[in-house]
Amino acid sequence: MTKLTQLYEQDYTAWAETNAALLKAGRFDALDIEHLLEELSEMGKSEQRSLESRLRVLFAHLLKWQFQYAQLSDPWREFDGRSWRQTIVHQRTELKILLRKYPGMKRLWTAAVQEAYGDARELAAEESGLPIDRFPSACPYSDEAILDTAFFPVHDSEGNHPIIGHNGPER
């Protein structure tokens, strides 16, 4: 076991700083290549997991907004969906920041939307108590709508999968 490999297991920050210094110095033969490759691979996976996680939460709340809101009893409806709306706004903000900081993630967008939507559909069904077939099987929201701060799906109490519109809060 090399000193650098040992450092990786004992002090990750020192290991990263040492490898950065070696790179700057052009000492490529001294790098801990095995762990560097592992860490670079994990960074990409971590970013993708973050993207999918934020999309999953956003989609679950958009689906509940669209399909459950109209079925809430009057006392619950009076809360005007504030909690859901706050979560939707927060996730959109975080997604925009993530895409701004890591523009390479845009290439993962389509796959992340598909992956996250399926999980969000199950989550929305579980949280709302509505049958899963009440929700569209494919993501009904356009890429533009997903990140549009003014977009809230039209409430639907009939189980239809309507054309999406703006049914957001009054400003």
Give the start-to-end residue ranges of the domains of the chain.
Answer: 48-171
The predicted model scores a pTM of: 0.73
3-38 residue pLDDT tens:
988 989 999 899 999 999 999 999 999 999 999 998
Residue 121 pLDDT class (50, 70, 90 cuts): very high
CB atoms within 10 A of CB 15: 21
76-107 residue pLDDT tens:
555 556 788 899 999 999 999 999 998 988 99
- Which amino acid, 152? F
Two tokens, residue 35: 């762990």
Is the CB of residue 136 less than 8 Å from the CB of residue 161? Answer: yes
